[in-house]
Amino acid sequence: MMVSLDIIILALLVASASAIPGVFLLLRKSAMLSDAISHSILLGIVLLFFWLKDIHSPFFIFAAALTGVLTVYLIEVIIQSKQVKKDAAIGLVFPCFFALAIILINLFARNVHLDQDAVLLGEIAFAPFERLEVFGRDLGPKASWVMGMVLLLNTSFVGFFYKELKITTFDKNLALILGITPGLIHYLLVTLVSITAVVAFDSVGAVLLVAFMITPAATATLLSRRLLNVLFISIGVACVSAITGYSVAALLDTSIAGAMATMCGLFFLLAFFLSPTQGLITRARHQKQKKLEFSAKLLTIQLLHHENQSEEKSENNINNLLDHMQWTEAFSNKVCKYCLENQWITQKKTALFLTQLGREIAKVVMKKT
């Protein structure tokens, strides 16, 4: 039981630490940078491993994170040259770095901790076995402490630079006018993403980091329009995904990271369909209603146009609707029903007449547009 609590705590830390920078990446339309960074840092880790031979040095984190920053810088340079568009630039750099890393591992480090599968998938279950001991007291898994510090780092960054992050995300020009350098914020953010990626590497691996960074943030944007809410919802969703994912993995005896990513996806799907404002179901219903209302108003205008004119008898009847408005029979009936219910029109056999209310509605609509 002790072990699984450690895992849960670690998972929660990874989830929250990733969700925070993830929100900003998503809002800045740089979601795929998380993918690029998480793949590229493997090259940094491998190279450093050859040099230092010790994966556990703290120096590791910063130096490997540097690879992430360099990757983004290289991508930027390529985009600036105007020869390549943004999406292609991203996809040019990181697969090459990742492939190089795989080659190096296969050639020179086949038997080491850097197993290429583990790299992708991570295995959070093993993390608790390396514990942090201070003055002979077991303070828990080392990974949790380090991750906890990263969480603190990310939270502090967002806390201190909240205004700057907000402005540079939503209005770059305003930022420039106010003297805030968008570039600096961008690279600081990228540095944090890299650091988070390196530390989370062991636990959840490359691709699953992307799941934690992007998917909860995407879910949150479907539920709220306010930045602060989006941040809190992302962290919340990420944490819930972590816990439920762990449960599922324990139940099925399968990859914990994979299960957590899947849960992120499930919650996203829930929001996609059921979000009260943005959900597919709400949207569809909304659209139908709007279309009906719009068409009903059109009908009143049409009736108004032809009122008291010679063609009134032929124009203002239900059969003509099909022809003139190009509506189907079913839809015409719906529209008429709507107008009748709202007392905009009255109907005598097939002829339609505007009520005074209907006439007012038509006039208001005409004035408004």
Partner 1 sequence: MQQNKTAISVKDLSMAFEDKAVLWDIDLEIPEGVLMAIVGPNGAGKTTFLKAMLGVIKPAAGRTELFGEEIKKNLKKIAYVPQKNTIDWDFPCTVLDVVLMGTYGQLGWIKRPGAKQKQQAIEALDQVGMTLFMDRHISELSGGQQQRIFLARALVQHADVLLMDEPFVGVDAVTEREIIHLLKKLSSEGKTIIVVHHDLQTVKAYFNWIFMLNVRQIADGPVETVFTEENLRLTYGSRSAYLSETI
Partner 2 sequence: MLQLDYTFFLVLVGTLFMGLSSGILSCYAVLRQQSLFGDAIAHATLPGICLAFIITKEKASWVLLTGALIWGALAMYLIQSLIDYSRLKADAAIGVVLSVFFGFGVLLLTLIQKMPLASQSGLENYLFGYTAGLLIEDIYLMAGISIVILVVVLSLWKEFKLLTFDSTYAATLGAPIKRLTQGLLALLTLSIIAGLQSVGIILMTAMLIAPGTAARQWTHKFSVMMILSITFAMLSACIGVTLSSMIDHLPTGPCIVVVVSCLAGLSLLLGTKKGIFLTYIRQQWQRRNISKESILQQLFILANTHNDPRYPHEFDSFRLFGKRPTQQALKKLRQEGLVYKSPPNRWGLSSKGHQKALTLLKKQNTS
200, 17 contact by CB (below 8 A)? yes
Shortest CB 301 distance to partner 1, Å? 5
Nearer to partner 2, 92 or 351 (CB): 92
Shortest CB 314 distance to partner 1, Å? 14
Structure-token pair, residue 322:
């099909």
In whole angstroms, what is the distance from residue 204 CA to residue 221 CA? 24
48, 64 contact by CB (below 8 A)? yes
Residue 106 binds what, of partner 1, partner 2, none (CB under 5 to 8 Å, by partner type)? partner 2
Nearer to partner 1, 47 or 301 (CB): 301
Q: Tell me the residue type at 86.
A: K
Nearer to partner 2, 98 or 161 (CB): 98
Nearer to partner 2, 62 or 108 (CB): 108
Residue 294 binds what, of partner 2, partner 1, none (CB under 5 to 8 Å, by partner type)? partner 1
In whole angstroms, what is the distance from residue 172 CA to residue 283 CA? 31
Shortest CB 98 distance to partner 2, Å? 7
Strands (E), the chain: 131-134, 137-141, 345-348, 351-354
In whole angstroms, what is the distance from residue 101 CA to residue 6 CA? 31
Residue 52 binds what, of partner 2, partner 1, none (CB under 5 to 8 Å, by partner type)? none
Nearer to partner 1, 163 or 324 (CB): 324
Shortest CB 14 distance to partner 1, Å? 40
Residue 117 binds what, of partner 2, partner 1, none (CB under 5 to 8 Å, by partner type)? partner 2
Pairing state between β 351-354 and 137-141: unpaired
Shortest CB 195 distance to partner 2, Å? 19
Can you give the binding site for partner 2, defined by CB under 8 A?
Answer: 26, 29-32, 34-35, 39, 78, 81, 83-88, 90-92, 95-96, 98-100, 102-103, 106-107, 110, 116-117, 120-121, 207-208, 210-211, 214-215, 218, 221-222, 249, 252-255, 257-262, 264-265, 268, 272, 278, 280, 283
Residue 7 binds what, of partner 1, partner 2, none (CB under 5 to 8 Å, by partner type)? none
Q: Pick from 55, 67, 126, 69: which is nearest to 100 by CA?
A: 67
Residue 66 binds what, of partner 2, partner 1, none (CB under 5 to 8 Å, by partner type)? none
Can you give the binding site for partner 1, defined by CB under 8 A?
Answer: 290-291, 293-295, 298, 301-302, 305, 324-327, 365-366, 369
CB neighbours of 162 closer than 8 A, spacing ≥ 6? none
Backbone angles phi, psi at 84, to 5 degrees: -135, 140
Shortest CB 317 distance to partner 1, Å? 15
What 3-state class would DSSP assign to 315? helix
Residue 116 binds what, of partner 1, partner 2, none (CB under 5 to 8 Å, by partner type)? partner 2
In whole angstroms, what is the distance from residue 101 CA to residue 116 CA? 9
Nearer to partner 1, 137 or 367 (CB): 367
In whole angstroms, what is the distance from residue 265 CA to residue 272 CA? 10
In whole angstroms, what is the distance from residue 188 CA to residue 301 CA? 58
Residue 327 binds what, of partner 2, partner 1, none (CB under 5 to 8 Å, by partner type)? partner 1
Nearer to partner 2, 101 or 336 (CB): 101
DSSP secondary structure, 85-152, as one string:
-HHHHHHHHHHHHHHHHHHHHHHH-TTSS--HHHHHH--GGGGGGSEEEETTEEEEEHHHHHHHHHHH
Nearer to partner 1, 234 or 300 (CB): 300
